[in-house]
């Protein structure tokens, strides 16, 4: 380390100051001395100091500033073969100027490099789209502009469903390619005036200028339809479903961060309810808060075995007897009372509890089936699966484990899966259903007629039973259209070797019509409402008794 030489100028300035101070002290101590004498003394002292300072400065230039410059120049001028002369003051000044100019250049270049780096972090390296920080700036300038012009625009938050799974199972390179292709597809669906950015992971944000909620919903629908087409990456054909949340400026918020927050809120609603897209809705916030507390109580109810299964019989028209039961979930909440099973399932699906809940249902129903069997009552038991259960890689092993635990005959287990759930991811559904079929477990298509599937498509799936949705059955006695639909469904299902269950049979007329149409099984309030296990078995025995007597 180079120690700076003590500056001569400092020494002389110090001397000057001390001399002046001494003068002042002198005046203070001997005020009676003649002022002219005193002032002459002081002036000569000042003169000596000033001269000293000048020589000290010259010395410093030569030795303290000049030396490092000389050294620098010496190092940098290796091509200069002539013996280097000690510099004169005239040559030194231009050299200092040169150095200052070089310093300026370095400074400017550093500044430019920093600007370039900043700019790079403003765009996302995978998609080339603006990053979160640039997006925030853009959002703010659109807000400023639209506030001034009193216009509205919409903000879309887009999230790729199950992106993490793609990344985990196929690797990050494929994940990156998907993100890149997703950004291309999204960009192609937008106008030049719209802004799209990647906020992070699998999150995108879009500003649709001059667009209200309705217009934004149309764009969201367009995106969903487009994403119905698979992505082709390497040898993979992948369906990538987005969820979209929409908020409108200034209707829902008038600051960038609030607007993002509201669009994200809507995104969560869309995700949790499999809606594809959702618009921010103030009135729904209350329901969401209730759902969160209900979810934690549901967790406790599952763990504490405080749920119940009710059993509703399915009567075989061909065998003239009750052959199966459907297990239906019941939860009597200590404060809120009866909670409809659809609502329980919704809460379970949006909180991840659907897996432990379905496991609880499967175990309880299979144990019950075994218990009845041991008492001489041979009934198949059907349980309902959610679309999420089909995405659970452990579903098969859990069912296998419970069946071996209870030593059940797999043929006595029926899994009811809604048509909508099967259609959500047909390839995945087919794979799981094939495995279950190989295990000799029966599969029923639930709520048939409410989805978009055709029987021709269902022909490819290993299903055994088709349940006509109760909305077509309940008015069968009065509605000829329903009758026509039920008739053709039964015929087609039989052509595909499926047995048909009509659910929602509420009267003798419907029962008779279904019998005449060749329906295989009947389920509905007319036979019996769903009942707790004990009550059900009493009903079952007395029903069989009654049947025997009337036969
Ligand atoms: P679902 O699978 O279609 O079950 C049949 C529903 O129809 C039951 O409603 C049953 O009580 C009702 N039902 C039966 N016969 C009649 C009738 O004659 N008339 C009328 N109006 N209704 C009838 P519930 O028990 O309220 O269950 C509603 C839905 O909740 C079920 O529809 C099913 O989708 C779901 N669910 C129930 N338990 C479970 C479960 O353990 N897991 C899953 N994932 N879903 C369940
Ligand atoms: Ca069902
Ligand atoms: Ca059903």
Alpha-carbon torsion (31, 32, 35, 40), positive or negative: negative
Among protein residues, the one whose CA lies closest to atom 11 of ligand 1: 530
Q: Is the CB of 134 under 6 A from ligand 1?
A: no
Is 164 or 308 the better-scoring residue by pLDDT? Answer: 308
Q: Which atom of ligand 1 is nearest to the CA of 416?
A: 2
Q: Which atom of ligand 1 is nearest to the CA of 525?
A: 18
Mean pLDDT, the chain, whole residue set: 82
pLDDT of residue 240: 87
What would the mean pLDDT of 287-303 be, rounded to a whole number?
81
pLDDT of residue 91: 67
pLDDT band at 362, cuts 50/70/90?
A: very high
Q: Is the CB of 345 under 6 A from ligand 1?
A: yes
Within 211-284, where are the H helices?
Answer: 213-226, 256-272
CA 160 to ligand 2 center in whole angstroms: 30
Among protein residues, the one whose CA lies closest to atom 14 of ligand 1: 524
pLDDT of residue 26: 41
CA separation for the pair 249, 280 (Å, rounded):
11
Single out the residue of 407, 413, 359, 410 nearest to residue 382, CA to CA: 413
pLDDT at 178 over 90: yes
Residue to substitute in 274, 327, 341 for testing ligand 1 pocket (most ligand atoms within 8 angstroms of CB): 341
Alpha-carbon torsion (352, 356, 359, 360), positive or negative: negative
Candidate from 106-120, 152-166, 256-270 with smallest mean pLDDT: 106-120
pLDDT at 175 over 80: yes
pLDDT band at 454, cuts 50/70/90?
A: low
Range 139-163 burial, b when 16+ CB lie within 10 A, else e: beebbeebeeeeebbbbbbbbbbeb
pLDDT at 36 over 50: no
pLDDT band at 352, cuts 50/70/90?
A: confident
pTM of the full structure: 0.58
Among protein residues, the one whose CA lies closest to atom 3 of ligand 1: 447
State CA 24 to chain mean position distance. 79
Q: What is the pLDDT of residues 37-55, one digit of tens each?
A: 444 444 444 444 444 444 4
Q: Is the CB of 524 under 6 A from ligand 1?
A: yes
Q: Is the CB of 446 under 6 A from ligand 1?
A: yes
pLDDT of residue 143: 96
Question: Which residues neighbour ligand 3 (ion) by CB within 5 Å?
Answer: 446-447
CA 545 to ligand 3 center in whole angstroms: 28
Q: Is the CB of 330 under 6 A from ligand 1?
A: no
Q: Which atom of ligand 1 is nearest to the CA of 447?
A: 3
pLDDT band at 288, cuts 50/70/90?
A: low
């Amino acid at each position: 380390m180079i120690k700076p030489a003590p500056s001569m100028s400092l020494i002389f300035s110090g001397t000057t100051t001390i001399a002046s101070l001494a003068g002042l002290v002198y005046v203070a101590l001997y005020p009676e001395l003649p002022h002219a004498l005193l002032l002459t003394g002081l002036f000569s002292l000042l003169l000596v100091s000033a001269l000293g300072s000048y020589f000290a400065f010259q010395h410093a230039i030569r030795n303290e500033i000049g030396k490092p410059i000389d050294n620098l120049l010496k190092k940098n001028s290796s091509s200069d073969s002539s013996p280097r002369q000690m510099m004169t003051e005239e040559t030194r000044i231009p050299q200092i100027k040169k150095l200052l100019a070089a310093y300026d250049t370095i400074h400017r270049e550093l500044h430019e490099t920093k600007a370039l780096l900043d700019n790079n972090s403003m765009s996302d390296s995978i998609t080339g789209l603006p990053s979160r920080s640039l997006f925030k700036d853009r959002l703010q300038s659109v807000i400023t502009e639209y506030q001034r012009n009193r216009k509205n625009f919409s903000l879309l938050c887009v999230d790729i469903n199950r992106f993490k799974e793609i990344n985990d199972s196929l690797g990050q390179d494929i994940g990156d390619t998907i993100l890149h292709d997703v950004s291309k597809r999204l960009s192609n669906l937008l106008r030049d005036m719209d802004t799209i950015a990647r906020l992070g992971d699998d999150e995108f944000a879009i500003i649709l200028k001059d667009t209200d909620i309705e217009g934004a919903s149309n764009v969201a629908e367009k995106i969903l339809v487009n994403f119905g087409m698979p992505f082709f990456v390497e040898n993979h054909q992948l369906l990538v479903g987005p969820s979209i949340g929409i908020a409108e400026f200034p209707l829902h918020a008038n600051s960038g961060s609030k607007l993002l927050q509201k669009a994200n809120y809507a995104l969560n609603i869309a995700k949790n309810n499999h809606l594809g897209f959702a618009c921010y809705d103030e009135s729904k916030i209350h329901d969401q808060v209730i759902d969160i507390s209900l979810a934690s109580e549901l967790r406790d109810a599952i763990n504490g075995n405080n749920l119940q299964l009710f059993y509703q019989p399915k009567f075989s028209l061909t065998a003239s007897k009750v052959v199966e039961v459907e297990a239906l979930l019941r939860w009597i909440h200590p404060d809120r009372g009866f909670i409809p099973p659809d609502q329980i399932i919704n809460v379970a699906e949006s909180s991840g509890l659907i897996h432990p809940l379905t496991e609880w249902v499967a175990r309880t129903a299979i144990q019950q089936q075994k218990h009845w069997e041991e008492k001489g009552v041979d009934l198949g038991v059907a349980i309902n699966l959610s679309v999420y259960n089909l995405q659970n890689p452990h579903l098969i092993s859990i069912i296998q484990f419970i069946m071996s635990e209870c030593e059940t005959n797999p043929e006595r287990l029926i899994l009811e899966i809604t048509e909508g759930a099967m259609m959500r991811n047909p390839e995945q559904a087919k794979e799981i259903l094939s495995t279950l079929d190989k295990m000799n477990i029966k599969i029923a298509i639930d709520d048939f007629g409410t989805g978009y599937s055709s029987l021709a498509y269902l022909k490819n799936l290993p299903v055994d039973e088709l349940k006509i949705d109760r909305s077509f059955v309940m008015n069968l006695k009065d509605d000829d259209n329903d009758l026509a639909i039920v008739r053709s469904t039964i015929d087609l299902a039989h052509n595909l070797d499926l047995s048909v269950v009509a659910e929602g049979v509420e009267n003798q007329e419907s029962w008779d019509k279904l019998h005449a149409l060749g329906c295989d099984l009947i389920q509905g309030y007319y036979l019996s409402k769903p009942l707790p296990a004990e009550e059900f078995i009493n009903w079952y025995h007395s029903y069989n008794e009654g049947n025997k007597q009337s036969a």
